[in-house]
Structure 1
Amino acid sequence: MALELGVMGPELMGRATELDDIGASLEAAISGAACTLVVSGDPGVGKTALVQHACAAVSSEMWILAGAALPLASMTVPFLPLRSALRRGPVLEGIPNPGLGPGGWAANDVIVAIDDWLTELCLVRPVVLVVDDLQWADQGTLDALMYLIAGPADRRLAILATQRSGELGELHPLQRWLADIRRMPRISWVALEPLDRTSTGAQIAQAMGSAPHQSLVQEVFSRTAGNAYLNRLMVSGLRPETRHLPQTLPEDLKSAVLRSWRGMSDGARQLTQLMAVGGRPIRAQDLAGLSQQAGTRHDAAAILRETTEAGITECWPNGTHWWFHHPMISEVLEQGMESGQRRDWHALFAAYGARLLAQGTTPDFEFMASLAQHHYDAGNAGEAYRWTLRAAAAAGSAGGSNEILRLLHRALALHGQLPQVDESREELLHRLRTAAEAAGAMEDELDALEALLAGLDPAQRPLEVAELLVRRTLLRFSSGLEFFSVDALLQAVRLAEASPESWQYAYALAELAHVGLWKDDPDAHRTAATALEVARKAGNPRALSYALTANSMAALFGERPDEARLLAAQGAAAAVRARDFWALLHATMWQANATEAWSSQAFADLMRSGRQQLSMLGAPHVYLSKMAADEASSYLSIGRWRECGQALRVALGTDPGPLGDVAARLTAARLAALQGSQDEARAHLARAEELFAHKSGYNNLDFDAVRAEVFLAEGDPAAAYLAAMAGAGKEGQPPTMCEWLVPLAARALADMVQGARDEGADTADMLASIDELVARFPSVLRESGNDTPFYSAQVEAFELLYRAETGRARSDAENAAQWIAAADACQSGSLRWEEAYCCWRAVQALLLHGHSGHGQAASFLRRGLILANELHARPLQDSLLEIAARARIATYQPSIGQASGGSIELPGLTVREREILGYVVAGRTYGEIARSLVISEKTVSSHISNMLRKTGTANRLDLSRLATRHGPEHFSPDGRR
């Protein structure tokens, strides 16, 4: 269904503020700042009309692509709103419209194709993409929108979506999606409330063509509560002099819709009711066939013309299918029917389907799913069950993993209602488990496993129960419920040890060793060796993969990295043979761990390669997401924040699953904190903590270090200290980012000491805490088995950083030298964020201790600014610029003529744009610039909009700040030109 969004409709009443809000978002997109705005409100409150008006106002400046989701009950049409939107897209030479053909494309390919196409369009002209009725959108559409929302910040793209409020239950798929995008940048929300009485009166006057009687306004307002859609329906057809609503008019939405509907012929009313029961767009010939089967023999084509003229239905753009002009009409018609009649008509649809089959129709997935739904609603449990299972099987060949899960859940519900069926409940649970595993739906798989375990007798089927217990442990870990259950794994080993040559025994031993190695269990190495011996004899690739990876861990912890790499590579190969994506992820991670520190380019490259392998194998996104999240973390640690952002976009572009989500959120929180976006950092961290109940119990996640960095960025060193110490004091193997923890604790204490000194408070207790920290941790923490030259350089950098922080707290006279040494060591270890931080502290220390001349301080200040500018580390930028201003240190040589509006150099700008930028930096108004250059103010505005888009800045102030800070990029680290 396409929305007419390029044409201005009747004037909206009472929506000036909301129109301004949407207009500001669209103007931002035109200027080069990508944005997303979600309009929510009750059905009929006027969301679509609001978006229509806002888009019409910019239709001469933007391409408007719009589509609407539909409430299809028995099937899912992938990317339905986007299909409609793309049909409205421009046809440009060299920029082919992806088209979204009817099938055969993998979802990820479609999403990337749409993204690439929109990127190309936005280079030519700004674009607004509208998706109406988001609550009915299929998962593919939601995934695509998430990917687009996470796209480039400087793309001239605005995404507008409308969503019904009050109709989403806690388990509705959209709830998770909305929760995720709330924590993403560049998201705005407009909550559309009903009209007040005054605006209702104005709307009625507009609809009736003259001022209505106040008695009518009051009656309409009391019944509709200001719902704009109901207001229009309520007064449709009334004469201007009407004082009261007719007594026969109902008081709710259903009655209002039925009033208009009753004006049609008997045949039109009957066939539209029949369409509503069908639940999805229908062909005219099928509507005619259903009418004939019902014994009415209506002229369907004539009736569809009547209903279209009445504004009840409309023909789809493809010219073959018909549906209601507004989806609410379908809802109201079906809800207004007696339950018996509704059930009879669902039976009619079911019988018509049987007739088509008898005539030779080959049932495809959509046909089977629709037939299953009609049998279900008709109360035919047996036929519903049979067709549900057939549809589930067909959905597999159609690539509909989510549909398989939905159908199998329904089959399980129906199974209990039937006295005798061929399949057992256990068989259905196994099918559900298999489908969930293939889809990466870990929560569904976990539920199926729990149900299976509840019905199995361990004494009768010990090997099967052992395998389920191990898999359940992995799923509970991946869902954030617990960091592996040793008790469950011990139970699995005990159950399987009666069959010492079984693959289940090897599988249970391997995972027991895996957990034992994390917890420093001295028996874990022996357990891993036994698991590998059994797995090789059993010949099962799944058990072999887990056993090889457990032994890879043991070799690495035993400081045998070459052996560890070989074992992990073999484990990955076995996982591919088993098509066990969890095992492949696990093996790839340990192969990378045995190659280089996770905080390295080499590790990031291995994660990217592993992600590509998973993608080629068709792995569900939850596994790719975790790999992309770890890739992002590696890139961030070495300062490659743009690559980090790209990997995060992959991780969060579609549903990442709990493990990938939490890993990506922690990295996103750290990136936001380092770049000065504190609200965003806090939101990402809150999402991570919401996902995982045991926030600090996961040694493989960097909760504590990230929390410490976020708290420090927020100016809360006391909380940062507690967070860092919580991570440093963990038992077992050191957690990820362990090297950061002790220096962060020292930094927090130094900040507290410095704050107390500034206030003239006593610092004795804080200095004692510094002494206690150094006594407890004379050196920084480091990971086991990692002893590469690169990692050793990083550890040395953290040692020097730790020493410099304690020196800062103690006001050590040699603190400047400590910071200089730490900065140089961080440079050697590719720790660019820490290097920039050390430069700032070095400048402070050099100036604080009165070193003669400012030469060295100026050199480190410029070096720090170069890094801070490249990293977009705004807090460090501001701190260094503040020092430069206070100490009168030149950060760069101003361009000649800048103060009077001369040209300023910024990459990518035209000669005219550089000229205008000089005036912007000088603080000139649009009018002053226009008069100086003898051009129009509109031309000045256009040039500035282009500069905002090219530089990724949000406004003139940010653009001016960027221009004045651009100078340090022309310096080498030692300050020479």
Structure 2
Amino acid sequence: MESALGGSVFVGRATELAQLTQAAEAAEKGESQAVLVRGEAGVGKTRLVDEFVRNLDPERAVAALGHCVEVGGDGFPFVPFTAVLRSLWRRMPDDVGAASRGREGLLARIVPDLEVPEGAFDRREDDAPRLFELIARILERLASRRLLVVIIEDLHWADASTRHLLEYLFRTPRAGQLLIIATYRSDEVHRTHPLRPFLAEMDRLRWVRRVNVGRFGRVEVAKQLDGLLGGPPEPTVLNEIFLRSDGNAFFVEELARVHRERSGVGLDDLRDVLLARLETLPETSQRIARVASQSGLVISYPLLRAVAGLPEDELIDGLRAITLTQVLVAEPDGTRYRFRHSLVREAISDSLVPGERARINRRYAEALEADASLVPADELTGHLAQHWYAAQDDVKALRMSVAAADAAGHRYAPAEQQRMLERALELWDRVPEDVRTSLPTLRLPDGYPDEGRTAVSTGPDRLDLLAIAVGAAWCSGSLDRALQLNRDALESMSAEHGPPPLRAAWFWVRRSQLVQDLNLGDGWNELRTAEDLLRGLPSSSVHADLLSYMADWSAQHRPGPESLAIAERAVVCANGVGTNETRLRARLTRALLSAESDPVGAGVAELYEVRQRAEALGMAEIIGRVNQYLPWVLEGMGRTDDAITAARHGIAVCRALDMADIEAWLHVTLSVSLFATGQWSESDAELDRAAATARSHRTRGAVAARRAYATLVRGDAERAAGQAAIARDLLGARDVEPQFLSALSLYRIAIDARRGRVDAAREEFLRADAEGLTRWPVRQALPMLCVAAWMEAEASSSSGPDVRSAKVLAAVRQAAAELNVVFPVSRAFEKLLGAELSRAEDADDPQRWASAGAAFATLGRPYELAVSLVGEGRALLRSEETRDAAVERFARAYDIASSLGANLVLADIAALTGESAAPVAVAATSPAPSPPRPPDGDLGLTPRETEVLRLVARGCSNRGISQELHISLKTTSNHVSNILAKLGASSRTEAAAIAHRRGLPVSD
């Protein structure tokens, strides 16, 4: 790789260079690394990366570079990875060939000039997961024996497909010595920039390193000028250049060269600075630069020769002058030229007058039409669409925009497909009717009705473009834009005389889904509108599509026998006239409804079948939905191990398909299952991953709600209340499904009760009961009933029964009697409810608690077991004869709660015994001797580690410990790591619990 800044000196950046070097060293140990390098345009990001690569040992490392390309605001799909793979293929053809063997045709989708065996070209649609995994496999193989550095420059111009692939590689650390570095302009990423969500997600991934390249200070500018000018700058020159450049390395260099070459010329305008060197060139060179500016940052020599219209000798002489002044620099492969900095290209492009811009772009388009080999095959339609549009040839721009949209869809690039379709829609009314009726064909959405087109039309009409654009915007995550495009389609049909009912219904069904996803309503009125449009018409795929979505809506909002009946109708209709996707969607909904009360497991078996079929056919929507629902259903049945396996399977699949929001939901589900089995640290990690991945308010609300519960059981009711409030705000009030409502009510009741706000908790419970949330879903209804019974038992023990308590307990018993309890985990909660109710009625029965504890122990649910043991111990304390048994129950509960970090249980034990070391305190009042407390040294810690542990147990952060003990953060971190290893603790919370249990004093 050559320096993009030519002969400029490398100044400063010791910290940033060290960060990249550390990442390389970690990668060489087999821990793949990802680094984001950010900084404003011209600040020196490329120079930093260039210096880093220059310092690598060529015997142990190989680097490959790819640039994102921007042409008129549109990025071309996968361009930087195409460049990277081409480079690696040229240098290591055997390794690339071995890694892609059997998948050469798939690889040719992104590197079209590969030599592919005859018949091997892969034309399967919707196969982004295979392509992404193939690229990951190639990189892993190449990184198995050497450090592989993949550099993606100018990420701010990346197309959505490149961003999705990069996110796929970033999210899952890869095997081997792989280091991926991506650079981007921070000043380009405005609030609505498409890169912003990607960066937000990456910021939440702890294993992604960030390197911020800032502006130079005065000292660094002086050093840079010393190297550029051949000696220390005059104070006046330094002052002027420092002030005008504001520390931007590129501007410092440009201003220094203007000062050196054109002494006395003013530096009044940035554009003048950027164009200053161009103005000193011969007219031929200036003409070449203006032509090159319309191709993008990089242009091949053959294309430039075809467009410039100059004799070859004159072209070469002009290029020589340009490269000598480094307006353009030659690429290492010797076939292409690159603008030395994109700011130069932008300034030159902006200096073109409108007629000149259109003329140059027309020449590009004509040259590409005459010789398609002038650009890579996968970029041809995109280039033509851009150049004909800039040339103001509406007819050809429309044709090529449609063709480019189809190509983008074929390459799994929905964002690019959406942009090309929107350009086609912009041009639609500018061209004659005969042009619109003879456009290239487009692949229409599955099940979209072929209705209402003109008899002479051979290609798509405007509604077709809108239908595909809605789907593309939806897939790319642009939900607001998808809704607007859908609205445009419906308004255009309503303005017509007699709108085609099948297509209108199809758009209303899509609107229903978008309204729900955007939390703008529940989507039912939209489905009813579609139903009205189809009334009286013969059965069609649109009927089946509508019925399947109505069944799904009922399953989510009004589950019960009526919903199951709708789902059965949907299956029958889909089997008759529906598409494969509609049939699977209907089966999925039916299985989801039946699985909730099916102890035999037929519904779950059907969910597995739907998952297998959808993944085999590559049906992205069904794949996402079935993988979302399956682990949730399994967890509700108490099949936690199966739920964990299904969730991890779904996470891998959704990550490959870039279904970030469903992946986030699966992380939440996995967190719930891990929490149930006592793996609380792993559960917390999954919630962190969910928060990093979630895109919608709904999923983010689910994360906050679950964090509220996890925080509560750790003993912090105030923070839990804050998380619950966040969850309510995120979930909103327009379309909150029962599963979310019941969870929110459950957590609110528990939090308010623990905060002593019993009246508020009672009010919330009675409201939830009136809305039917204590009847479904059973998995959340039973815990809610248990919490309500616990609350009244606590109230009764402190102030005695009253009218309000009796009302709540009556509602609890009535709801419990109506529940359909079929699974062992629900029966365990039913036993726990019975024990709490007996305590609330002053008939605390240790046998009921023991029965509940045994049920939870069988299911491997330690938290509920600890709760049951505390209840049994409390009941046994009622009699002097059973006090020893109570001590034993408390001791068991204490050990479980301490290992989990369940401070809520520890607080309950303390309240019963009057001491924080609960088992010891209870034993001291019984005939049994008090167990001895080991001295601090028995923990196996050094004196300094004991000091650190004492502060950890007090809740101090690493920074707080550093300040308290006057040691560095790194030293503190090392001490904490050593303590966790010596104690066998998986978290600071567990270490603190061990410190408390072993009697380590934590107060001064």
| 2:348 paired residue number | 333
Q: Does 1:10 align with 2:2?
A: no
Which amino acid in 1 is paired with 2:436?
D
Which amino acid in 1 is paired with 2:78?
P
In the alignment, structure 2 segments of 5+ residues that lack a partner are: 111-126, 438-460, 922-929, 950-968, 992-996, 998-1004
Q: Does 1:164 align with 2:185?
A: yes
Q: Tell me how far apart the structure 2 counterparts of residues 875 and 202 of structure 1 sit (CA, whole Å).
A: 60
Which amino acid in 1 is paired with 2:10?
P
Q: Tell me how far apart the structure 2 counterparts of residues 543 and 332 of structure 1 sit (CA, whole Å).
A: 52
Q: After alignment, is 793-802 or 203-212 more displaced? A: 793-802
1:836–1:399 Cα change, 3 Å: same
| 1:275 paired residue number | 292
Which amino acid in 2 is paired with 1:451?
D
Q: Under a length normalisation based on structure 1, what TM-score does the superposition of the two structures give?
A: 0.72
1:216–1:439 Cα change, 3 Å: closer
Q: Does 1:638 align with 2:646?
A: no
| 2:264 paired residue number | 246
1:449-507 C-alpha deviation (Å, 9 max, x unpaired): 33222222496533332333233223333444333x33222232233221364454454
1:893–1:428 Cα change, 3 Å: same
Deviation of 1:135 (Å): 1.1
| 1:962 paired residue number | 981
Q: Tell me how far apart the structure 1 counterparts of residues 140 and 532 of structure 2 sit (CA, whole Å).
A: 57
Deviation of 1:963 (Å): 1.4
Q: Tell me how far apart the structure 2 counterparts of residues 769 and 124 of structure 1 sit (CA, whole Å).
A: 72
Q: Does 1:312 align with 2:327?
A: yes
| 2:302 paired residue number | 285
| 1:422 paired residue number | 436
1:608–1:337 Cα change, 3 Å: same
Q: After alignment, is 734-743 or 21-30 more displaced? A: 21-30
Q: Does 1:369 align with 2:382?
A: yes
SS in 1 for 2:857: helix
Q: Tell me how far apart the structure 2 counterparts of residues 224 and 9 of structure 1 sit (CA, whole Å).
A: 17
Which amino acid in 1 is paired with 2:68?
L
Q: Tell me how far apart the structure 1 counterparts of residues 984 and 687 of structure 2 sit (CA, whole Å).
A: 28
Query: 8 Å contact 2:33–2:207 — kept in the other structure?
Result: yes
| Partner residue of 2:257 out of 236, 261, 266 | 236
Query: 8 Å contact 2:714–2:904 — kept in the other structure?
Result: yes
Query: 8 Å contact 2:368–2:384 — kept in the other structure?
Result: yes
1:355–1:411 Cα change, 3 Å: same
Which amino acid in 2 is paired with 1:11?
V
Q: Tell me how far apart the structure 2 counterparts of residues 299 and 748 of structure 1 sit (CA, whole Å).
A: 90
Mapping for residues 484-563 of structure 1, pairs under 5 Å:
485-499=523-537, 501-516=539-554, 518-519=557-558, 524=563, 527-528=566-567, 531=570, 534-535=573-574, 538=577, 544-545=583-584, 547-548=586-587, 551-552=590-591, 555=594
Query: 8 Å contact 2:61–2:146 — kept in the other structure?
Result: yes
Query: 8 Å contact 2:701–2:731 — kept in the other structure?
Result: yes
Q: Tell me how far apart the structure 1 counterparts of residues 228 and 908 of structure 2 sit (CA, whole Å).
A: 59
Which amino acid in 2 is paired with 1:456?
M
Q: Tell me how far apart the structure 2 counterparts of residues 405 and 41 of structure 1 sit (CA, whole Å).
A: 29
| 1:933 paired residue number | none
| Partner residue of 1:734 out of 776, 783, 787 | 776
Q: Does 1:104 align with 2:104?
A: no
Deviation of 1:230 (Å): 0.7
| 2:959 paired residue number | none
SS in 1 for 2:233: coil
1:383-408 C-alpha deviation (Å, 9 max, x unpaired): 11111122223334444443322211
| 2:80 paired residue number | 80
Mapping for residues 44-63 of structure 1, pairs under 5 Å:
44-49=42-47
Query: 8 Å contact 1:35–1:186 — kept in the other structure?
Result: yes
| Partner residue of 1:387 out of 400, 412, 417 | 400
Q: Tell me how far apart the structure 2 counterparts of residues 508 and 764 of structure 1 sit (CA, whole Å).
A: 56
Q: Under a length normalisation based on structure 2, what TM-score does the superposition of the two structures give?
A: 0.70
SS in 2 for 1:405: helix
Query: 8 Å contact 1:696–1:704 — kept in the other structure?
Result: no
| 1:699 paired residue number | 738
Q: After alignment, is 653-662 or 545-554 more displaced? A: 653-662
Mapping for residues 167-206 of structure 1, pairs under 5 Å:
167-185=188-206, 194-195=215-216, 200-201=221-222, 203-206=224-227
Mapping for residues 546-695 of structure 1, pairs under 5 Å:
547-548=586-587, 551-552=590-591, 555=594, 564=603, 581-582=620-621, 597=636, 600-601=639-640, 604=643, 607=646, 611=650, 621=659, 625=663, 628-629=666-667, 632-633=670-671, 635-639=673-677, 693-694=732-733
Deviation of 1:374 (Å): 0.8
| 1:69 paired residue number | 67
| 1:467 paired residue number | 506
Q: Tell me how far apart the structure 2 counterparts of residues 155 and 649 of structure 1 sit (CA, whole Å).
A: 25
Deviation of 1:876 (Å): 9.2
Q: After alignment, is 118-127 or 212-221 more displaced? A: 118-127
Deviation of 1:299 (Å): 4.5
Q: Tell me how far apart the structure 1 counterparts of residues 719 and 166 of structure 2 sit (CA, whole Å).
A: 20
Deviation of 1:279 (Å): 1.2
| 1:788 paired residue number | 823
Q: After alignment, is 645-654 or 523-532 more displaced? A: 645-654
| 2:155 paired residue number | 134
| 2:491 paired residue number | 454
Question: RMSD between aligned alpha carbons?
Answer: 6.2
1:390–1:463 Cα change, 3 Å: closer
Q: Tell me how far apart the structure 1 counterparts of residues 905 and 176 of structure 2 sit (CA, whole Å).
A: 27
1:307–1:704 Cα change, 3 Å: farther
Which amino acid in 1 is paired with 2:828?
A
Q: Tell me how far apart the structure 1 counterparts of residues 717 and 285 of structure 2 sit (CA, whole Å).
A: 59
| 2:449 paired residue number | none
Query: 8 Å contact 2:717–2:755 — kept in the other structure?
Result: no
1:641-674 C-alpha deviation (Å, 9 max, x unpaired): 7987998899899897777777678668877998
Deviation of 1:263 (Å): 4.3
SS in 2 for 1:146: helix
| 1:831 paired residue number | 861
Q: Tell me how far apart the structure 1 counterparts of residues 612 and 973 of structure 2 sit (CA, whole Å).
A: 48
1:526–1:98 Cα change, 3 Å: closer
Which amino acid in 2 is paired with 1:497?
R
Query: 8 Å contact 1:718–1:749 — kept in the other structure?
Result: no
Deviation of 1:892 (Å): 9.2
Deviation of 1:274 (Å): 1.8
SS in 2 for 1:777: helix
Q: After alignment, is 114-123 or 347-356 more displaced? A: 114-123
Q: Does 1:351 align with 2:349?
A: no
Query: 8 Å contact 1:36–1:158 — kept in the other structure?
Result: yes
Query: 8 Å contact 1:791–1:829 — kept in the other structure?
Result: no
SS in 1 for 2:738: coil
1:146–1:636 Cα change, 3 Å: farther
Query: 8 Å contact 2:297–2:342 — kept in the other structure?
Result: no
SS in 1 for 2:981: helix
Query: 8 Å contact 1:593–1:603 — kept in the other structure?
Result: no
Deviation of 1:370 (Å): 0.5
Mapping for residues 898-909 of structure 1, pairs under 5 Å:
898=940
SS in 2 for 1:482: coil
Q: Does 1:208 align with 2:222?
A: no
Deviation of 1:39 (Å): 4.7
Which amino acid in 1 is paired with 2:272?
S
Deviation of 1:331 (Å): 1.7
| 1:910 paired residue number | none
Deviation of 1:598 (Å): 5.5
Aligned length: 899
Q: After alignment, is 681-690 or 447-456 more displaced? A: 681-690
1:7-40 C-alpha deviation (Å, 9 max, x unpaired): 996332xx78877888898899899998866454
